[in-house]
Chain A
Amino acid sequence: MARARTKFIMGGILVLGTAGYLMATSIGDTGMYYLTPGELTAKVKRDSTFYETGVKMGARVVPGTIERQPGGRAVSFNVTDGSQTIPVTFRGVIPDTFTDSVDVVVEGRYNRNGTFVATTLLAKCASRYENAPDKYQSTPAYKASKGPAA
């Protein structure tokens, strides 16, 4: 009786151990730094291998900097976190939600010439399910409802 239990536990450890091993190695292989432009700039200053390392960068698109190539398949724009501004280029499917001042998450490499070459581009609305017009956004009620974060 106890032997069955021991065997079961050993089997369970084997299964979970394999899963754990896979988790640990694949985090090493596929895990990516998630940085803001300021953090990315600081990282590459300290350690130049961060150039050309795949990272994710979350920031806000600077209004008026979006230049779409004809055909809607490539785009360049600047992003900022308030402290640093980094130019980004992207080729691929541009999401419907991508526009001035949205928060974007780009995945790609930071070039030595100071451009972020993105391979994926995710855009999110301040809230994807919300679309408050500019004039509402300046009302006190709107500001109050958004809390100090906005």
Chain B
Amino acid sequence: MILIGELSLWVALLMAAWSATVSFAGGQMRRSDLVASGERALYATFAFVVLASIGLWTALLTSDFSLRFVASYTSSNLPAVYKFSAFWGGQAGSMLFWCLILALYSAITLFANRRTNRELMPFVTGTLAAILIFFLATTAFGANPYARLDWIPPDGTGLNPQLQNPGMAIHPPNLYLGYVATSVPFAFAIAALITRRLDAEWLAAVRRWSLVSWLFLTIGITLGMWWAYVELGWGGYWAWDPVENASLLPWLTGTAFLHSIMIQEKRGMLRKWNVTLVVATFLLAILGTFITRSGVIESVHSFAQSPIGSWFAGFLILAIVVTAFLVATRLKDLEAQAELESMVSREAAFLYNNVVLVGIAFSVLWGTLFPIISEAVRGSKITVGAPFFNTVNIPLGLLLLGLTGVGPLIAWRRASVANLKRQFAVPVAGGLVLGAAFFALGMRDGYALVSYTLAGFVTTTIAQEFVKGVGARRRIHGEAIPIALLRLIGRNRRRYGGYIVHFGIVVLFAAFAGLAFKKEYDLSLTPGSSFTALDPYNRSWTFTSQGVSRYEELNRQVTAVVLEAKRPGMAPTLIKSEKRQHVDSRGQPTFEPSTEVGILESLRQDVYLVLHGVTGEETAEIRITFNPLVWWVWYGGIIMAIGGLIVMWPQATRSRSGRREGGYVVVMQPAAERPPVEAGV
């Protein structure tokens, strides 16, 4: 099986090469036999990549240490689930994993479009195959997971303990699923550019794929934050590290695209811009992979410095040149069909949403690449850290949060004063009340106050939309509230799913604003001694050390400290933090000791305990952090994912009236003042 897998990798490469060649040729010469052959070859590529992956999984699960990859990332005493997930734990395997997802997506795209978009498909197939050629070739020549050692070690070196975490088993696949899904819209964009069929047709085909990408990136980023928070022990979840930024960039441009696509659907505007966003999202996803793999930018996350960095740089440049050429030669076909009519319109709100999202993306990109830029321009590497990203992105983020509330309320084309008054009166009041309430409770941090005011505003807009929609259904259909609510969402998935995503964003911002009130204490505790600290809500906590214990567990030796945490009005609770020394199957220590943090979660705050070390026999050196509202980050992420799923869920193809509907509701009435039935996000 392992040998079959190894050979399959090479066959897949040949198949992809054939597919790309005949698909482009068939599309240009309009020969359906070549096109069909190209599609079959792409299906075959998928089959062979699957074989290659099964081969590697077989090697990992049977611990075939003659493969360098298996020997470097697993050991015989590693739990099976981590042997399985070691597939994407290392450079070479993760490249193959990338190929696997891309091949899978390609096959799904071909199958879903076997009867539709026939004009575009040859070029879509060709572009996808071309991307596959790049990734397969990089895997086969640059980072082959089937590379063998010239001797067979008795045991492997095991998986880094920080990766032995359930979050780490599912975080990378989610990010990859998100990154790779940007390839499909990119392929459609290239196909639309080549064939000059730049109307809304290709957009409809890519909207769902953009959502897939957005959804997986959202889940992946949230899981990444969670992993960093529970595993790395520095008390935070986002450090503006280049690798984190790399995952945020395609998310930002992808989000911008999901908004601007609506303007093109509705008004035929922003055609150049949409092509640009699709291409930019793909390129940023590739750039993200490049940053993670090349070691060109200092990051604690980097894989080994490796030669495949230059492969990526080459591919990136090639992709930029090709798309720039295609866009430049087709500018005429990309002219807008309508113009912006008023600053007070939904178009304008969406456009500003795009400006801000792209502005954030640009500043993040600039800050991430600044060491390279400054070295090239001024000859010395200058790095920027969290203060840079916070200074720039907090104001932009708050502006974006405000627009989240404005966009859905304002009418298309031109909003009237009456429309504005009717829609905004309650939400503005809601926001101001919440802001004032926090001020009265003693909150004095400016950004936090603005955040919570805006959060109140946006939440009220969303609530108002749901109340209106449910009310309308109750009047027209006489339904009970829960049924009206479910039907409302079910019948307008894009609109109300979008509102749910917006609510997730509000929850996230509320959580981010809570960071301003974080409190941290470093201390040493002998057994039985206590420490009293005030939390951000001015409540007094007492921590009493229950002593230090040492014991062995599975594949590790553990040193643990247990604290009893008490505050008035809460039953005493124990929190434990561990230092783990992992050992191999012969009992020899492997890796550096790792820290397991202890977290006492609640809606208001996390109490976060880190054991630094032990002095003498029993004195624990610890750090206690009060992290307000961290819980909200995870739930904000979950709410966004649920909203995303609702938006993506295929709309029933026939509504009750028998009219065919696409992914959104078709509205016959003229724009401007109309009941809330047009498409949301």
Which residue of A is nearest B580, CB measured?
A96
Nearest-neighbor residue (CB-CB) of A146 within chain B: B304
List chain B residues, Cβ under 8 A from A7.
Answer: 343
Neighbouring B residues of A64 by C-beta, 8 Å: none
Segment at the interface with B among A77-85, A110-118, A134-142:
A134-142
- Give residues 54-86 of B contacting A (CB, 8 Å): 68, 71-73
A35–B395 Cα distance when bound, in Å, is 31
Q: Are B381 and A122 in contact (CB under 8 A)?
A: no
Which A-chain residue is minimally distant from B153 (CB atoms)? A136
- Whether A26 touches B384, Cβ cut-off 8 Å, given contacts A8-B351, A96-B162, A129-B303, is yes
Kindly name the residue among A2, A39, A122, A133 whose own CB sees the greatest number of chain B CB atoms within 10 A.
A133
Check if B385 sits within 8 Å of A122, measured CB to CB: no
The smallest C-beta distance from B350 to any residue of chain A, in angstroms, reads 11
Per the 8 Å Cβ criterion, residues 594-619 of B in contact with A are 594-595, 610, 612-616, 619
Is B551 positioned at the interface, with any CB of A under 8 Å from its CB?
A: no
CA–CA, A31 and B380, complex, Å = 12
- Name the segment of B111-119, B144-152, B508-516, B659-667 touching the other chain: B144-152
Are A31 and B303 touching (Cβ within 8 A)?
A: no
Alpha-carbon distance between A140 and B298 when the two chains are bound, in angstroms: 27
Interfacial chain B residues near A141, Cβ < 8 Å: 68, 147-150
- B residues contacting the other copy or chain, number (CB 8 A): 78
Interface flags, B124-152, vs A, CB<8A=1, else 0: 00000000000000000000000111110
Check if B233 sits within 8 Å of A30, measured CB to CB: no
CA distance A7 to B71 in the complex (A): 62
**Residue among A4, A129, A140 having the largest count of chain B Cβ atoms under 10 Å:** A129
Given contacts A1-B339, A71-B612, A128-B301, contact A26 B391 (CB under 8 A): yes
B392 contacts across to A, CB distance below 8 A: 19, 22-23, 26
Taking a contact as CB atoms under 8 Å apart, the answer to whether A93 and B72 are in contact is no
B399 at the interface (CB under 8 A from A): yes
B340-A30 in contact (CB<8A): no
Of A31, A72, A127, A150, the contact of B613 (CB 8 Å cutoff): A72
The answer to whether B388 touches A23 (Cβ under 8 A) is: yes
Q: Given the complex, which residues of B lie within 8 Å of A125, measured CB to CB?
A: 160
Name the residue of chain A whose CB is nearest to the CB of B595.
A96
Contacts of B303 in A (CB 8 A): 127-130
Which A residues touch B340, using CB under 8 A? 1, 4-5, 8
Q: Given A58-B298, A128-B301, A140-B150, answer yes or no on A12-B363 (Cβ-Cβ < 8 Å).
A: no
**Complex contacts, A96 vs chain B, CB 8 Å:** 162, 233, 592-595
In the complex, whether B404 has a CB less than 8 A from a CB of chain A is no
Contact B621 A72, beta carbon cutoff 8 Å:
yes
**Central interface residue in A7, A19, A22, A97, by most chain B CB within 10 Å:** A19
A30 touches B387 (CB 8 A): yes
Q: B396 interface residue, CB < 8 Å from A?
A: yes
Is B591 an interface residue when CB atoms closer than 8 A count as contact? yes
For B345, the closest partner residue in chain A by CB is A4
Q: Which of B184-192, B352-360, B460-468, B637-645 contacts A (4 or more CB under 8 A)?
A: B352-360
Complex alpha-carbon distance, A130 and B304, angstroms? 8
Q: Is B415 part of the binding interface, using a Cβ–Cβ cutoff of 8 Å? A: no
B522 within 8 A of A: yes
Q: Is B652 part of the binding interface, using a Cβ–Cβ cutoff of 8 Å? A: no
- Least Cβ–Cβ distance between A144 and chain B, in angstroms: 9
- A11 in contact with B623 (CB, 8 Å): no
Contacts of B612 in A (CB 8 A): 71-73, 93-94
Please determine whether B615 and A71 come into contact, CB atoms closer than 8 angstroms.
Answer: yes
A31 and B366 contact, CB distance less than 8 A = no
Q: What CA separation (Å) do A126 and B383 show in the bound complex?
A: 21
B355 & A15 in contact (Cβ 8 Å cutoff): yes
Pairs A–B under 8 Å by Cβ, sample size 28 = A4-B343, A4-B348, A11-B352, A15-B352, A22-B392, A26-B384, A26-B388, A30-B388, A31-B370, A31-B384, A33-B380, A34-B382, A35-B381, A58-B298, A71-B615, A72-B615, A73-B522, A105-B298, A127-B91, A127-B302, A127-B304, A128-B303, A130-B72, A131-B158, A139-B150, A141-B148, A149-B305, A150-B304
Kindly list 12 other residue pairs between chains A and B, CB separation below 8 angstroms, not including A5-B340, A149-B306.
A8-B348, A19-B396, A22-B395, A26-B388, A29-B387, A31-B370, A32-B383, A71-B621, A123-B300, A131-B72, A139-B150, A145-B68
**Chain B interface (Cβ within 8 Å of chain A)?**
68, 71-73, 89-91, 147-151, 153, 157-158, 160, 162-163, 233-234, 298-307, 339-343, 348, 351-352, 355-356, 359, 362-363, 366-367, 370-371, 374, 380-385, 387-388, 391-392, 395-396, 399, 522, 524, 590-595, 610, 612-616, 619, 621, 623
Give 6 closest A-B pairs by Cβ, nearest first: A72-B613, A127-B304, A34-B381, A71-B615, A30-B387, A26-B391
